[in-house]
Structure 1
Amino acid sequence: MNAAELRKYFPILDQEVNGHPLVYLDSAATSQKPVQVIEAVNEYYQKHNSNVHRGVHTLGNRATDLYEGARDKVRSFINAASMKEIVFLRGTTTALNLVAQSYGGANVQEGDEIVITYMEHHSNIIPWQQLAKQKGAVLKYIPLQPDGTISIEDVRETVTSKTKIVSVMMVSNVLGTINPIEDITKIAHENGAVMVVDGAQAAPHLAIDVQKLDCDFFAFSGHKMCGPTGIGVLYGKQALLEKMEPVEFGGEMIDFVGLYESTWKELPWKFEGGTPIIAGAVGLGAAIDFLNEIGLDAIEQHEHKLAAYALEKLSAIEGFSIYGPPNGSDRAGVITFNLDDVHPHDVATVLDAEGIAVRAGHHCAQPLMKWLDVSATARASFYVYNTEEDIDRLAASLLKTKEYFSDVF
């Protein structure tokens, strides 16, 4: 099934914005939702809504089966060894904070090193900054190559025997860079460090096998992969999760509560305090079914093709600057750019008037903006429902934008 055929499953795309057919090029921020996901969440609330695990009535059993069934779909989707390794949380940010606070809090000491990169999203910077401050640890950055990629030589020079945690995004939300996680993980393990992967931009677009990657933790969000907002996943190797303490306490995650001492449930529920995100998990399960039907390999090929086409079309525009790997085959479906002498917010505003949705700003990556020596950029990001015609519309509207500001100034 091609992208034009897939569009029919996304009702939001069948509309006009500012008098023009909508072209949605902001999937790196959040993807649109197919009818299969919308209907799954709606059906849950209409027919099965109940709290999970504790009840013995029919609706409680149905809701529990749906919730735990979604967990098993996630396990299979990323090829985890056990459902005990799949923790449902609010999203990637919450998952990374859990690793920093729980694993990092127990295992990082004064003088230890935490290694990340300049391209990280703020959600994969700030938790480590805070941990380093709390523990007196050293936060180090793997440098970037001029094209926004990472060299293995630089990884080897940065990660040392003092390194306790390496945390790297698998796919850059700005540059589109696809990082060599398997190789970085090997270097981390050779030095006795654990490997944390921010998979927010990877899980929707690439086939993920956490056992092959051998990473220790992998975090991602449902809303970027056709699922609902407010649901995300932390994968962790069972042996590590078993030793970690929860950071949220209360109902659902407890086993026994006494007046002065309490014990926790077994994995993964000890990390899921309070009423869990049941409808979100059901929607995420439906999203995984949808993506599996298309095929992650097909999605990856489609985005490489769109990225290559966009690089060719947009590079022909005079005064157009593109950031990240120069080849479409080396990047995910993200094109971040600037138009000479036009502020990215002005670019996005004019494009919106043409019915084209792109993102403008620092993309929660201010250290990367500093490295690029820009204050902000515009970003077009593609997904299963985008076509070459969308890119043609983008290119034509960017030419109009350039002409408009040339006339104004």
Structure 2
Amino acid sequence: MIDVEQLRKEFPILSTEVNGHALIYFDNAATNQKPKVVTDALQEYYDGYNSNVHRGAHTLADKATKAFEETRTLLQEFINAGKSEEVILTKGTTEGINLVAQTYGRMVLNEGDIILVSTMEHHSNIVPWQLIAKEKGASVIPIPISEEGEIIFEEYEKLLSDKVKIVAVNHASNALGTINPVEEIIKKAHEVNAKVLIDGAQSAGHLPVDVQAMDCDFFVTSAHKMFGPTGMGFLYGKEELLLAMPPFLGGGEMIKEVSFGGTTFNELPYKFEAGTPNIADTIAFGTAIKFINKWGKENMAAHENALLEYATEKLKKEVPTAKIYGEAQNKVSVLSFVIENIHNYDIGMMLDARGIAVRTGHHCTQPLMARYELEGTVRASFAAYNTFEEVDKFIEGLVRIVKMFG
């Protein structure tokens, strides 16, 4: 287990107060806090070697390019991609999904074809597929889930056919915490020659990710859920697919030669990285990966899981009018619930008055909320820097709110 008090010292924001109370930050599924080494990396780039990357013949450009490309190598190792060229730097999970939908999707989809997504998907893994499906005359069909919040695998198998060209599912649900059996999902999809995109926004910072062992065709995630900066992420794609796909955006960096007679495109990964990239945040993302490697993803996940178990048991015992949504056997550290006769937004506001930050609402999963006939839930999501004492204060706050409405 990690030394949580030592870890907390890495995060300056955790020593702040909110509404006169010590901050308790349980909104980590939306974005987690950043260690000082990450914010220092941003400052160091701008103060010390600010320069555009690639093609520069001067010292600053060389230093910036090396730091920039080091992040790509770190990410390749982090997910065990076969080549660094298979790692495409993006603005985040949403852009990665849109990139695949607008390039691979446009290339392979025809009228009558099917894209399967799970009922528990974030809107970012639904809307891009709807857009390209409408254009191509294809359909987006949801995979049903159980009351516990798990994909009903038998129903998934029934939906598979030679008309299914793409399966897009999350590795872990942002609203329920469910960890999906992605290896089995991928294997079944490949039996009908469908390609699979895995949304790793909620998994990359918590679960082991080996894209080669998983055999996914695409994997996307965001830096800001991995102690990194916002507006940054990456797409992994199998080399043969990326080579076949057309570019996503046109402009600088993604070209080899341009003339009014035509343009030839750059090699991977630059074919998909048009324009001046987000250099500072890319470098800081590399620092965040080093930070995770230093503390150990497995060590951090073990603490998060212990917090989840503790909070779940305590909520059930001390707040009997609470109903938990998402009771899958395998979960990341997300606790989503409603309390009888109290609106989720009211709970969020009253917790905030005591310095406790949670997320309320539909969590960008409106089809999932419709499945449970809910308007929204309260979601507490834990990170490695959270403590059992913070969970105690959280539950105390909920008990107080229930009494107020009693």
Q: Once the two structures are superposed, what CA deviation does each residue of 1:164-220 show, in whole Å capped at 9, x if it has no partner? A: 000000000000000000000000100100010000000011121100110000000
Counterpart residue identity of residue 117, structure 1: S
Q: What corresponds to 1:320 in structure 2?
A: 322
Instruction: Tell whether 2:335 aligns with 1:335.
Output: yes
Report the Cα distance in structure 1 between the residues aligned to 2:303 and 2:284, rounded to whole angstroms.
24
Counterpart residue identity of residue 375, structure 2: S
SS at match of 2:8: helix
Report the Cα distance in structure 2 between the residues aligned to 1:151 and 1:6, rounded to whole angstroms.
39
Shift of 1:359: 0.5
Shift of 1:36: 1.2
Q: Once the two structures are superposed, what CA deviation does each residue of 1:71-90 show, in whole Å capped at 9, x if it has no partner? A: 00000000000011000010
- The answer to whether the Cα contact below 8 Å between 1:199 and 1:219 also exists between their aligned partners in 2 is yes
Shift of 1:140: 1.2
Counterpart residue identity of residue 131, structure 1: I
Report the Cα distance in structure 1 between the residues aligned to 2:261 and 2:340, rounded to whole angstroms.
64
Q: What corresponds to 2:205 in structure 1?
A: 204
Shift of 1:326: 5.5
Q: What corresponds to 1:401 in structure 2?
A: 401
Report the Cα distance in structure 2 between the residues aligned to 1:86 and 1:135, rounded to whole angstroms.
28
Q: Once the two structures are superposed, what CA deviation does each residue of 1:228-275 show, in whole Å capped at 9, x if it has no partner? A: 011110000000000111121111111101013111110000100110
- The answer to whether the Cα contact below 8 Å between 1:141 and 1:158 also exists between their aligned partners in 2 is no
Counterpart residue identity of residue 271, structure 2: K
Q: What corresponds to 1:35 in structure 2?
A: 36
Instruction: Tell whether 2:365 aligns with 1:365.
Output: yes
Report the Cα distance in structure 2 between the residues aligned to 1:106 and 1:336, rounded to whole angstroms.
38
Report the Cα distance in structure 1 between the residues aligned to 2:158 and 2:298, rounded to whole angstroms.
33
- The answer to whether the Cα contact below 8 Å between 2:348 and 2:378 also exists between their aligned partners in 1 is yes
Counterpart residue identity of residue 318, structure 1: P
Shift of 1:389: 1.1
Any residues of structure 2 matched to 1:224-373 within 5 Å, and which?
224-316=225-317, 317-325=319-327, 330-373=330-373
Report the Cα distance in structure 2 between the residues aligned to 1:389 and 1:166, rounded to whole angstroms.
41
SS at match of 2:225: coil
Instruction: Tell whether 2:109 aligns with 1:97.
Output: no
Q: Give ranges in structure 2 of 5+ residues lacking alignment.
A: none
Q: Once the two structures are superposed, what CA deviation does each residue of 1:132-188 show, in whole Å capped at 9, x if it has no partner? A: 111111211111011001133222112212110000000000000000000000001
Shift of 1:405: 2.0
Report the Cα distance in structure 2 between the residues aligned to 1:115 and 1:22, rounded to whole angstroms.
41
Report the Cα distance in structure 2 between the residues aligned to 1:162 and 1:326, rounded to whole angstroms.
30
Superposition RMSD on alpha carbons, in Å? 0.9
Report the Cα distance in structure 1 between the residues aligned to 2:281 and 2:372, rounded to whole angstroms.
37
Q: Once the two structures are superposed, what CA deviation does each residue of 1:345-380 show, in whole Å capped at 9, x if it has no partner? A: 100000000100000111000000100111111100
Report the Cα distance in structure 2 between the residues aligned to 1:275 and 1:22, rounded to whole angstroms.
37
- The answer to whether the Cα contact below 8 Å between 2:362 and 2:375 also exists between their aligned partners in 1 is yes
Report the Cα distance in structure 1 between the residues aligned to 2:230 and 2:90, rounded to whole angstroms.
11
Any residues of structure 2 matched to 1:159-174 within 5 Å, and which?
159-174=160-175
How many residues are aligned here? Answer: 404
Q: What corresponds to 2:378 in structure 1?
A: 378
Counterpart residue identity of residue 210, structure 1: V
Aligned identity (percent) is: 49
Shift of 1:4: 2.4
Shift of 1:397: 0.2
Report the Cα distance in structure 2 between the residues aligned to 1:175 and 1:341, rounded to whole angstroms.
21
- The answer to whether the Cα contact below 8 Å between 1:231 and 1:280 also exists between their aligned partners in 2 is yes
SS at match of 2:224: coil
SS at match of 1:280: helix
- The answer to whether the Cα contact below 8 Å between 2:348 and 2:360 also exists between their aligned partners in 1 is yes
Q: Once the two structures are superposed, what CA deviation does each residue of 1:45-67 show, in whole Å capped at 9, x if it has no partner? A: 11111000021100000000000
TM-score when normalising by structure 1: 0.97
Counterpart residue identity of residue 267, structure 2: E
Counterpart residue identity of residue 64, structure 1: T
Shift of 1:318: 2.1
Q: What corresponds to 1:139 in structure 2?
A: 140
Report the Cα distance in structure 2 between the residues aligned to 1:164 and 1:180, rounded to whole angstroms.
19
Report the Cα distance in structure 2 between the residues aligned to 1:49 and 1:370, rounded to whole angstroms.
48
Report the Cα distance in structure 1 between the residues aligned to 2:199 and 2:390, rounded to whole angstroms.
29
Counterpart residue identity of residue 320, structure 1: A
Q: Once the two structures are superposed, what CA deviation does each residue of 1:20-55 show, in whole Å capped at 9, x if it has no partner? A: 110000010001000111111111111111000021
Report the Cα distance in structure 1 between the residues aligned to 2:92 and 2:180, rounded to whole angstroms.
21
Report the Cα distance in structure 2 between the residues aligned to 1:114 and 1:287, rounded to whole angstroms.
34
Moved over 6 A (4+): none
Q: What corresponds to 1:110 in structure 2?
A: 111
SS at match of 2:9: helix
Any residues of structure 2 matched to 1:160-199 within 5 Å, and which?
160-199=161-200
